[in-house]
Structure 1
Amino acid sequence: MAADPWRNRARRVVESRLRPNGDVRPHHVVCGQDALAFYVVNELLAAGARVTVIVGLRPRADGPDIRAVRGIRVVRAARVDEATLRAAGLAGAQGLALMEQNDVGNIHAALCAQEVEPHVRLVMRMFNPGLGAGVKRLFADCQVLSDASMAAPAFVAAALGEVTPTHFRHGGRTLHVARRADVRPEHVVCGLADTRDRNHPRVLPAQQDQADLVLAEATGQPAGTVVAARRLIRARRRRRPAFAVLRALRLFVSRKIGIATMVVFGIVAVSGVLLARATEHLNLWQALYLTLLTAVTGAEVDLGERPGAQVMQVVLTLAGLALVPLITAVVVEGIVNARLAINAGRLRTPRTDHVVVLGLGNVGTRVMWQLHDLGVEVVAIDKDPDARGAEVARRLGVPLIIGDGAQEETLREASVATCQALVVVSTDDVTNLQAALNGRAITGDLRVVLRLFDGDFAERIQKAFNMTISRSVSYLAAPAFAAALMRRDVIATIPVSRHVLLVAEVTVAAGSALDGERLAALTDNPGVRVIAFARAGQARLRWGPPAGERLAARDRVTVVARRAGLSWLLKQTSAEPPPDGRVEIPAPRDPTPPA
């Protein structure tokens, strides 16, 4: 204990030396240069932090160039080790974000960081949830997040034409996103968006009753969004049991063998009916029983029979010669087709009412997994047989087609013409766009969920071709990563079309711009909606507080806000008010994100 003051003093000395020109802003180090790292860096800069970014020696060909961001320091290195972290000024930094798409590499970088700065806040991006849970226990101050897990529900909901299954618990209540028509008026907590114009949704409209997408209370309701989706799928199957049986038979055997088998059984059935009519002492069942055994085991020669019966015996014997091989062929082909579909990367029989997922990276694997858990039939496409999700597809029994998903032949092989949605989530914009356009060429009313990195390009494509919502994985996940790095309490992220709403709890600091102001100062901002309020020291939240309530230090406010609105609110509730001491109410701008 006696050494702690000296250690803290030495840490403050090192930190002061690393801050240029007496800069007292918190310092964060980000490792990565993809789209997610790009947006996390912008979130940190918007919050007033100093940022150092560690990038590779070569720039990435896809996504935005993080090196072009103004106000950051860039460190180029072949690998992230102790020397690189020291050069980036990690000693004395408040946080380190490890954003590479390499679980093992991120763990190695975290171990190196502990040698440089044991007290740094670690935020790690990991795909494997089991590995992430184990790694989190190795470090004193570590948060493990998965951008794929955050974004996958939005893609699944768009593919099924449902509301994004966002639900969370806060203040003793379970809240979820729903259509206003699906919930009772007294359960509505906040209007989120007016989505009647799919290409131009109005987020947080001034008139709350105009919002058809709402945040509602689900406490006491027996089923959440995911359970409701599963029940919907089961009900659909119950309404069409005959169709489900026929589809299963189609998946089991090929068309030619099925037709041949039906012809042979038809001959046996017709022969049984004729035998029943020709023989007075046999009823229909006895005649069918006799013909089936005769076809399987062969007939005994009886020269005393009438010519018609002898002809029937010959036909049945010939049909029997084909029946046993056909039954064997059906069983063998069913097994071979299943293995070929899973292991050899080919769809041997057509599918109907399924979802095609193109690209089995982090996001595509999560989307495939969640659709499978919901009971939706999935067909996956990837050009790499060793893609991250290839083994998952084989383990789940999902047919995996190895090929170029941008080609029309590959899409036809995946039965895109009869699918309910095409989810295109590869990391290549050209492949994604070409696959979407070829899918629309196959069937004009195809629902397409498209991922594009360039925001302006994605918006124009959506308008020009009426594509289903283009989702932004990086834009959806970046606020949660930045909030974890800065130890801020972002409770949930809600994707609405190409926008993101954040649910956050903010504490009013003593001496901040909002200390002593009324809640109306928050509600006047079009990018912020107050949904709950709690006095300092009180655990119980007051939902829907009046606008005239006056704020005080250490009061907690729960809001639904746009990104710019939350950034404004965090500045207004911080301990350092604006120079003139006035509360500013800017019109928040929320740029359309790339995917």
Structure 2
Amino acid sequence: MCTLALLSATAADPAGSEGSDRSGDQGPQLLPDDRAVAAATGRGIVALEAMTHVGPAVPGRRLAAALPVASLFSRRLRWSLAGIVAAVTGLAVASWLTTGDHPLHAAYITLLDIFAINHPALEEAPERKTLQILAGFLGLLLLPVLVAAALEGLGAFRSATALRRPPRGLSGHVVLLGLGKIGARVLVRLRELEIPVVCVESDPEARGLALARRMRVPVVLGDVTEEGVLEAARIHRAHALLALTSADTTNLEAALYARAVRPDLRVVMRLYEDDFATAVYRTLRAAHPAALTRSRSVTHLAAPAFAGAMMGRQILGAIPVERRVLLFAALDVAGHPQLEGRTVVESFRPGAWRVIALDTASPAQRLPDLSSTPGEAA
């Protein structure tokens, strides 16, 4: 295990800058050495620990559940259909016993009588005439039941494809504002973690609405700046608010309104400019010191990954450390004098880079994508 970062020492101070460039020594430290870790008493850390998985692979879970067949029809209609089926069976058995025909032929004649497409039994025995009359009455009863079944089934399918509304008693959920690219990916991750979510989206053509519909996630369509929209998402009983729209003003206004409704609500905002995100964070934390507030600039977090990709490095992932980013990349040691011919300890540069893994396989056996498994690469 190794320490990858030291968290800010001003996490509990409303005047702190929470990881910005102005935090100085009290801000987060990326890739500290052992001396800095030993001296940083009382500060949180981001540690790397090797873990192994023992046991069979767990299959992926389906995000969207299939529509139950029982929900297509009401209980009363199901009982009506069962009664008609029993009556048809009884008439078929009676026809078989009275006429002596083959059971399949008796059932066929009964169905013809029910649908009124058989010849009248004018010259048949009285028992046969009675059965034909009863089958005719049963056919009259069958028609409205079939119409009701068709209407209920159509209504059930329309309800399944429509957006769900938040249940009245919902609480402890996450309100996700915005179903664009980022919002849709966050929604998938939250559902994988089995966290209840209510989405709020103003654009009826947003790309994430189809995903929310398939996953049966409640959605509130409306402008979050309008009165009653966040209330419809049960914001007063929510666990957290994720404001992930592409408009900074919308995210900020939603956060301020949510805090006015519930001061201790956890809030995470997506903001474009990092200095603005820092100022918003400090203001909200000073106004609500007991609540958990996070504001992140997406461009600021993504910039290191883009820069690393332009330098020809294979980006494996990134970990946000407060307002800074710890980037994981793979590169060839050959051609880098800071790494070539050195041990892992000798190549370590505090605050700059650190080698955490070595691929000792031959060039022909190396995976083209280190983030994939050998089975996926094959």
Q: Is the 8 A contact 1:191 1:208 kept in 2?
A: no
Number of the residue aligned with 2:52: 219
2:297 paired with 1:468: no
Contact 2:7/2:322, CA 8 A, preserved across alignment: no
Residues 402-436 of structure 1 show CA distances to partners (whole Å, capped at 9, x for unaligned) of: 11113352111111111111000000011000000
Q: What residue is the counterpart of 1:403 in the other structure?
A: 222
Which whole-Å CA distance do the structure 2 matches of 1:197 and 1:383 have between them?
37
Map of 2:271 onto structure 1: 452
**Per-residue deviation at 1:376?**
1.4
Worse overlay, 432-441 or 349-358: 349-358
Which amino acid in the other structure matches residue 397 of structure 1? R
Residues 483 and 510 of structure 1: CA distance in aligned 2, closer, same or farther (over 3 Å): closer
Secondary structure class of the residue paired with 2:351: coil
Amino acid at match of 2:50: E
Aligned partner letter, 1:212: I
Contact 1:523 1:529 in 2 (8 A): yes
Does the 8 Å contact 2:220/2:233 carry over to 1?
A: yes
Aligned CA distance change for structure 1 residues 344 and 393 (closer, same or farther; 3 Å): closer
1:375, 1:535 → 2: CA distance?
39
1:394 deviates by 1.2
Residue 223 to residue 375, structure 1, CA distance change in 2 (3 Å): farther
Counterpart of 2:321 in structure 1 is 496
- CA drift of 1:449 comes to 0.8
Pair 1:412 & 2:225 matched: no
Shift of 1:195: 5.1
Q: Partner of 1:208 in structure 2?
A: 37
199-208 or 436-445: bigger deviation: 199-208
1:361 and 1:223 map into 2 onto residues whose CA distance is 35
Query: Does the aligned pair in 1 maintain the 2:3–2:46 contact within 8 Å?
Result: no
Q: Quote how far apart the aligned CAs of 1:469 are.
A: 2.1
- Aligned: 1:423 with 2:242: yes
Secondary structure of the corresponding residue to residue 427 of structure 1: coil
Compare CA radii of gyration and give the structure with the larger one.
Answer: 2
CA–CA separation in structure 2 for the residues paired with 1:220 and 1:486: 33
Aligned residues: 245
Residue 388 of structure 1 aligns with an amino acid whose one-letter code is R
Residue aligning to 2:6:
193
- 8 Å contact 1:407–1:435 — kept in the other structure? no
Instruction: Provide the rounded CA distance (Å) in 1 between the counterparts of 2:265 and 2:362.
Output: 54
AA of the residue aligned to 2:324: H
> Normalising by structure 1, what TM-score?
0.36
How many Å separate the matches in 2 of 1:193 and 1:515?
28
Structure 2 letter corresponding to 1:194: L
1:316 maps to which residue? none
Q: Which runs of 5+ in 1 are unaligned?
A: 1-187, 231-331, 541-595
**Cα displacement (A) at 1:518:** 7.1
SS class of match (2:4)? strand
User: For 1:340-368, what per-residue CA distance to the aligned partner results, in whole angstroms no more than 9, with x for missing partners?
Assistant: 9x736754624201110000000111111
By how many angstroms is 1:477 displaced? 3.7
Change (3 A) 1:217 1:410: same
Q: CA RMSD in A?
A: 3.7
Q: What corresponds to 1:352 in structure 2? A: 171
**1:208/1:531 Cα in 2 relative to 1: closer, same or farther (>3 Å)?**
farther
Question: What corresponds to 1:442 in structure 2?
Answer: 261
CA contact (8 A) 2:163 2:218 kept: no
Contact 1:469–1:498 (CA<8 Å) still a contact in 2? no
Cα separation, 1, equivalents of 2:312 and 2:320: 22
The residue type paired with residue 203 of structure 1 is Q
5+ residue gaps, structure 2, are 12-17, 20-26, 62-151, 286-291, 366-378
Q: Partners in 2 of 1:533 and 1:394 — Cα distance?
A: 44
C-alpha distance in structure 2 between counterparts of 1:511 and 1:464, whole Å: 44
Shift of residue 510, structure 1, vs aligned partner: 4.6
Matched-pair contact (CA < 8 Å) for 1:350–1:414: no
Deviation at 1:371? 1.2
Distance (whole Å) between structure 2 residues aligned to residue 463 and residue 223 of structure 1 = 47
Whether the 8 Å CA contact 2:3–2:45 is kept in 1: the answer is no
1:365 to 175, 180, 184: 184
CA contact (8 A) 1:346 1:402 kept: no
Q: Report the Cα distance in structure 2 between the residues aligned to 1:373 and 1:537, rounded to whole angstroms.
A: 37
Quote the Cα distance in structure 1 between the aligned partners of 2:323 and 2:204.
32
Distance 1:533 1:345 in 2: 49
**3-state SS of 1:381 partner:** strand
SS in 1 for 2:245: coil
Aligned with 1:530: secondary structure?
Answer: coil
| Residue in 2 that maps onto 1:390 | 209
After TM superposition, the score normalised by the length of structure 2 is 0.55
Matches of 1:445 and 1:434, distance apart in 2? 16
Quick one: which amino acid aligns to residue 213 of structure 1? V
2:165, 2:218 within 8 Å by CA — same for their partners in 1?
Answer: yes
